[in-house]
Every structure is written in C-alpha cells, then in structure tokens.
Structure 1
Amino acid sequence: MLNEFKTFIARGNVLDLAVGVIIGAAFGTITKSLTDDVIMPVIGAIFGGFDFTSYFVRLGPIPATYTGSPENYAALKEAGVPLFGYGAFLTVVINFVILAFIVFLLVRSVNRMLAKMEKEKAEGTAPPAAEAADIVLLREIRDELKARPGTNPPL
C-alpha cells in the first residue's frame, strides 16, 4: 500500500494539482487584498463613503461587559454577538466574481494561445504543394537523358 501511495504522489497530475492549489491560495489572498484595499474603497467613495463590512443585522443581545461601539461589526463579532453580516458576505461575493473573471481571462488566453500553436503546427506539417506539370516533365526529360549511355547533359 505504501508503494502504491508513493506511485500516486509521484504522478505528474498530483504534483500539478498541488502546485495549482498552493498558487491558487496565494492568488486568493491577492484577490482579497485587491477587493478590500482597492476596489471596495473606490466603490465606497463613489456611493458616499460607506463600507460594506459595516452592514449587518444584530441577531442577539450585546453582552453587558461589551464596551465598544454597537456599530463595529468586527468588535461585536469578537465579543460573540450573533450577527447577520450581509456586508461582509457581499465583499466575499465580489472577491469571488473578481477571481472568477481573472481565471476566465487566464483560461481564455491559454486556450487562444494553444489554438494558435495548433494552427501553426498544422500549417507547418502540411504536405508540400504539387509541382507544376512543366517542372515534372523537365525532370523526367533530364532523368531520361542521364540514363542514356554516351550522353552527358549539362546541369
């Protein structure tokens, strides 16, 4: 069983998948930063300075020991207050849409590049065009003259 596992892990597909997952996770953090630090502030500025993460509905009471703002989503969540954080969810959805669009653009570019390479490969391996009939006839005459004894045609 251990040898089978080693064979499974050593396959190229598994290693490719592992690399893809690692790069995908890193790319996810880049996308999250792009959304949180670049896109959402711009959207907030366009629509009057609001922050999507501040949109939530409190589903339970605030503990008596809580001293923070009742409008601070992160602090309320940390204090254990049950919250319906639709603003945070909206941010995650925007993250997903951006990530999906970027992956779409990458896959589209790769598919176009592969199609172009296949087309160039197909054009490069095409059989040569047929020679003109007069060229073929002249070659036959030359070969016939070479075959005759005592004649030495100039080339």
Structure 2
Amino acid sequence: MSMLQEFKTFVSKGNVIDLAVGVIIGAAFNKIVESLVGDIVMPLLTRILGGGLDFSNYYIPLNGQSTTLALTEAKKLGGVIAYGNFITISLNFLIMAFVIFQMVRLFNKLKKEEPQAAPAPAVTPEDIVLLREIRDSLKK
C-alpha cells in the first residue's frame, strides 16, 4: 500500500476527525481560561495579596538588570527568570484541569443515571428444547 493510500485511510477514520474537533475546541477553551485567569483571578489575587501586585512582571535578572524594569525591557537587556509568568501559566493550567475534571465528573454522573435496559432473556436453542421434551416424556 502506498504512503498516500495509508494516509488517506488514516485520515478517513472517525477517530482522527474526533481528535481534530477536540483540539479545536480545546484551543478555544484555552482562550476562555486564559481570560478567566488574566482578567478575573489574577487581579483578585493581586488585590488580596497587597494591591499593586502584578505576577506577570515578577522576574529574577541574570545579567544585572534592575528589578524595577518591566519584564519586556529586562528581557531586552539580557536573560531573566520570569517566575511571575510561570505562576500565571501554572494557575491557568490548574483552573483548566479543575474545569475539565468537573466536566468529566458530570458526564460520568449522567451516564450512571441513564436507566439500563434489562437484558433480554437468553433464547434456548431448539435442539435443547427437543432434548428436554424427550427427557420429560421418558420420565413419564
């Protein structure tokens, strides 16, 4: 089978389409979570922890830059460890993981609540029925 034919077979499977849809929805969901963290959670945290905190500009300079510079300016002057950005992204991940956990949990509850159809009684093969009738008639 040629590589083109194998690729066509691979792409035409339903799982690939499902995966593509999942990636697209995940990217859109990521934007929502980034907005939630950046626009709602982080401002609340900075307010609670002392008013003017901005985690995204917290860094450790590696080339002797002043810590009073904004992160973008400090990066232009040399290497920095941007731990504030890491905190923001980590919070982003935790919130997204929690929301996905809650969604999976909800779907699992909905699955459990669906009424299960009673299994159909097993049909006895005809030859077994005939053998039982013969046995019963011999007992008489």
TM-score between the two structures when normalised by the length of structure 1: 0.69
SS at match of 2:116: helix
Which ranges of structure 2 fall in alignment gaps of 5 or more residues?
A: 121-140
> Could you say which residue in structure 1 is the equivalent of 2:100?
103
Q: For residue 75 of structure 1, what is the amino acid of its counterpart?
A: E
| Higher Rg | 1
Matched, 1:15 2:13: no
How far off is 1:100 after superposition? Answer: 0.2
1:50-76 Cα offsets, whole Å, 9 max, x none, are: 1111211100145xxxxxx94201232
Matched length:
118
SS at match of 2:50: coil
RMSD of aligned Cα (Å)? 2.1
How far off is 1:80 after superposition? Answer: 4.8
Which ranges of structure 1 fall in alignment gaps of 5 or more residues?
A: 63-68, 128-155
1:58-102 Cα offsets, whole Å, 9 max, x none, are: 00145xxxxxx942012322x152101111101110000000000
> Could you say which residue in structure 2 is the equivalent of 1:83?
80
Q: Percent of pairs identical after alignment?
A: 43
Equivalents in 1 of 2:47, 2:95: separation in Å? 19
TM-score between the two structures when normalised by the length of structure 2: 0.76
